[in-house]
Chains A and B, each alone.
Chain A
């Protein structure tokens, strides 16, 4: 039985700015880390591995430096790692990204039972790649898994968070799932284990390794959406700032609340 967990290397900070003259994104610093939501995915995948003796592979798409997150995943207990790296994959939107990942899964693990994803990344924040992957792979998708039960080598019980209700589902493999952070506190890799990891266990997959290696289906060419421009959020100018005594601050508050009929002064009750 094979399980694949999809992880991503993300910037450590969300502090970014737009260069006002060129309109280009300026990222402050180049520190990276594993997308924090992926730790929950790895943790759940490890639980399933434990009861099924499955082979667990971590995959990530990114530059050579993204091997760092694969090493982390292996330090946590994944059996091996796959780096998906090719210039043809650059500039991908959600559709092209999910197609690339799906294409890798179907090319390297035709008999995969379960694909496990974090609920979203902290840089893209779309929470869409997992479900799109499932559609490309023609597998069912179960989102926001917060618990598992009755784990066997042919099926799995999943509790899915649907907002106002929790739904227990039983799913025959194969399937793609995303994992909610409500699943429980995940482990962090120890520095010692991380230093023991052998980078040669990481396989690099390029366009030519995929069953579908038509470059038009990947990267910028395979992306139906384009970011037309980026800009800094603007704020309305309709603002009042009272900078005086506490009494003045209270006067202003009471005036605004009463004029909007939210407060009636002393007889309010």
Chain B
């Protein structure tokens, strides 16, 4: 619950608190105000004290921060490769680790991983822990969580980072609850404090508000990060990253969940891996869509859509950008007739170069676009065709 704390430096022993207390919990001992077990933490004395010398402090299990070091990244596997998001988390972990000279290691779970894990060498990792077992070939949340919890609970990692992929979003909470530690989902920014506290920043209320979250009462500090939010680790071409195979206790692999069949879905059939993107928004007349497809072809770009366009049935949900669609981190992205609701921009504002064309000078897309151009999209396309030829 908590306890009553008296700041004896501020207190002048005026005894107003003693009169205010209904439980006779306060008295003067050795010239100081003292609290006895009758205190109900009602707060009457806190309100009464003219010098603000009394406060109610939440009684917490205090963790010894100095016992916890290092950062563990849980890698994600995509088919027969390490998914790109894993390298992004490693890149972020290395930046955070530099503050306190922590080490960064990665854990990889799967089957027949020998070739895959070699690709993690040379990025400045300390260890690459490999859990290789046929039972781990297909993701099952309980099995993966059991194996990882068993491994992590024998260590004292300060931070564990997990990709906010579909599987990661099940795995991370399953591990966090086993530790009874906090978990912050979809962090867009992380900072390390000198004392080891991880500052976790994430959008809330559909991105209308940013929340800064701390997990100062438990370890490890756990966070998930979506793909294309952090910068990828830089390949150093050195010998870093000691590969260590971990024997998995067979009892940890037992589960009441059995895999029946697996259906592979066609790869890259969505917008999230595109690096050059043109987005069609509500402000573009449908009759201009063919010309925009022509422009995309010319610039070797992929067409993306806003939510209203997908709801109208014009674009596929796999090509929808935004909080309810996919997140992109493009080299360049051009939005045409997109107003720029936060729901959309949260899914693309990490792109390196953002260009926007809209006929409304007050459109909020111009707040995030590096290059905003106030123009009518149809006339702008006419101008393009005048200069560079037909787009049909």
CA distance A167 to B379 in the complex (A): 48
CA distance A125 to B324 in the complex (A): 11
**What residues of chain A lie closer than 8 Å to B177, measured between beta carbons?**
95, 98-99, 131-136
- Contact A226/B214 with A134-B174, A140-B141, A232-B209 known, Cβ cut-off 8 Å: yes
SS class of chain A's interface: helix, strand, loop or mixed? mixed
CA distance A168 to B263 in the complex (A): 8
CA distance A244 to B361 in the complex (A): 10
Q: Nearest Cβ distance between residue B351 and chain A, in whole angstroms?
A: 12
Q: Are B170 and A135 in contact (CB under 8 A)?
A: no
Q: Nearest Cβ distance between residue B56 and chain A, in whole angstroms?
A: 12
**What residues of chain B lie closer than 8 Å to A232, measured between beta carbons?**
208-210
Which residues of B201-220 are within 8 A (CB) of A?
203-218
CA distance A254 to B211 in the complex (A): 38
**What residues of chain A lie closer than 8 Å to B170, measured between beta carbons?**
131, 141, 143-144, 178
**What residues of chain B lie closer than 8 Å to A254, measured between beta carbons?**
387
Which residues of B227-264 are within 8 A (CB) of A?
255-264
- Give 1 or 0 for each of A211-232: 1 = CB within 8 Å of chain B CB: 0000110001101111111111
Q: Are B212 and A14 in contact (CB under 8 A)?
A: no
What residue in chain B is nearest A269 (Cβ atoms)?
B298
Q: Are B371 and A263 in contact (CB under 8 A)?
A: no
The verdict on B355 contacting chain A, using a C-beta distance below 8 Å, is yes
Among B170, B180, B215, find the residue whose CB has the most chain A CB atoms closer than 10 A. Answer: B170
**What residues of chain A lie closer than 8 Å to B258, measured between beta carbons?**
169-171
- Contact A239/B370 with A128-B169, A143-B170, A233-B342 known, Cβ cut-off 8 Å: yes
The verdict on B106 contacting chain A, using a C-beta distance below 8 Å, is no
- Interface residues on chain A, number (Cβ under 8 Å): 86
What residue in chain B is nearest A102 (Cβ atoms)?
B177
- Contact A167/B138 with A95-B181, A240-B370, A250-B383 known, Cβ cut-off 8 Å: yes
The verdict on A242 contacting chain B, using a C-beta distance below 8 Å, is yes
Q: Nearest Cβ distance between residue A38 and chain B, in whole angstroms?
A: 16
CA distance A137 to B211 in the complex (A): 29
CA distance A128 to B382 in the complex (A): 49
Q: Nearest Cβ distance between residue B234 and chain A, in whole angstroms?
A: 21
What residue in chain B is nearest A234 (Cβ atoms)?
B210
**What residues of chain B lie closer than 8 Å to A122, measured between beta carbons?**
206
What residue in chain B is nearest A215 (Cβ atoms)?
B1
Among A128, A227, A262, find the residue whose CB has the most chain B CB atoms closer than 10 A. Answer: A128
CA distance A243 to B359 in the complex (A): 9
CA distance A143 to B331 in the complex (A): 32
**What residues of chain A lie closer than 8 Å to B375, measured between beta carbons?**
246, 249-250
CA distance A249 to B379 in the complex (A): 10
**What residues of chain A lie closer than 8 Å to B215, measured between beta carbons?**
224-225
Q: Are A125 and B185 in contact (CB under 8 A)?
A: yes
Q: Are B180 and A95 in contact (CB under 8 A)?
A: yes
What residue in chain A is nearest B218 (Cβ atoms)?
A224
The verdict on A110 contacting chain B, using a C-beta distance below 8 Å, is no
The verdict on B357 contacting chain A, using a C-beta distance below 8 Å, is yes
CA distance A161 to B209 in the complex (A): 29
Q: Are A233 and B58 in contact (CB under 8 A)?
A: no
**What residues of chain B lie closer than 8 Å to A168, measured between beta carbons?**
259-263
Chain B positions within 8 Å of A, measured between CB atoms, are 1-2, 58, 78-79, 138-142, 145, 165-167, 169-174, 176-178, 180-186, 199, 203-218, 255-265, 267, 276, 298-299, 331-332, 334, 342, 353, 355, 357, 361, 366-376, 379-380, 382-384, 387-388
Chain A positions within 8 Å of B, measured between CB atoms, are 14-18, 25, 93-95, 98-99, 122-136, 140-144, 157, 161-172, 175, 178, 215-216, 220-221, 223-233, 235-236, 238-244, 246-247, 249-250, 252-254, 256-257, 260, 262-263, 265-266, 268-269
List 17 extra interface pairs beyond A165-B264, A170-B260, CB under 8 A: A14-B206, A128-B183, A132-B183, A134-B177, A141-B141, A167-B139, A167-B259, A167-B263, A224-B180, A225-B184, A233-B207, A239-B366, A239-B369, A242-B371, A262-B331, A263-B299, A268-B299
